[in-house]
């Protein structure tokens, strides 16, 4: 199982960025996927989750209305579109496979750093 995030970088406040996660070594379409972030020196914050067929999507209140999670099962890929970015969104963004309903987030990528700064 491998999860590889990409697309992080420096973005100005109010800007947008799309991060991606490529999954391999497992049947990507069979698993709920999540984004979890970690601000520098801070703890983990769950951001969003998406079910196997994208029918069930949830967001943390801190990103609702600004971030959109999506997936392309044909390309074994997970995405997070981030709009109206603020300083508080600066973090390492991890994608993680699994569900809170049983099993947990059992595989994590190495993360991609998003820095929001002018």
Partner 1 sequence: QSVLTQPPSVSAAPGQKVTISCSGSSSNIGDNYVFWYQQLPGTAPKLLIYDTDRRPSGTPDRFSGSKSGTSATLGITGLQTGDEADYYCGTWDSSLSAGVFGGGTKLTVL
Footprint of partner 1 on this chain (CB under 8 A)? 34, 36, 43-46, 49, 58-61, 94, 96, 98, 100-111
Question: Measured between alpha carbons, how far is 53 from 112 in angstroms, rounded to an integer?
Answer: 25
Question: Measured between alpha carbons, how far is 81 from 30 in angstroms, rounded to an integer?
Answer: 22
For residues 12, 3, 104 and 8, what is the CA-based torsion angle, rounded to 10 degrees?
0
Nearer to partner 1, 15 or 115 (CB): 115
CB of 96 to partner 1, least distance (A): 8
Nearer to partner 1, 81 or 100 (CB): 100
CB of 80 to partner 1, least distance (A): 15
Nearer to partner 1, 26 or 108 (CB): 108
Contact in structure between 85 and 11 (CB atoms under 8 Å): yes
Quote the Cα angle for 17-59-49, to 5°. 85
CB of 15 to partner 1, least distance (A): 25
CB of 58 to partner 1, least distance (A): 5
């Amino acid at each position: 199982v491998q999860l590889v995030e990409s697309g992080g970088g420096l973005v100005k406040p109010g800007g947008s960025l799309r991060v991606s996660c490529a999954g391999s070594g497992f049947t990507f379409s069979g698993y709920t996927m999540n984004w979890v972030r970690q601000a520098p020196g801070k703890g983990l914050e769950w951001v969003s989750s998406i079910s196997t067929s994208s029918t069930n999507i949830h967001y943390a209140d801190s990103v609702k209305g600004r971030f959109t999670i999506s997936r392309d099962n044909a390309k074994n890929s997970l995405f997070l579109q981030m709009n109206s970015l603020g300083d508080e969104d600066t973090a390492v963004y991890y994608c993680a496979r699994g569900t809170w309903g049983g099993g947990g987030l059992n595989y994590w990528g190495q993360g991609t750093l998003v820095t929001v700064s002018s």
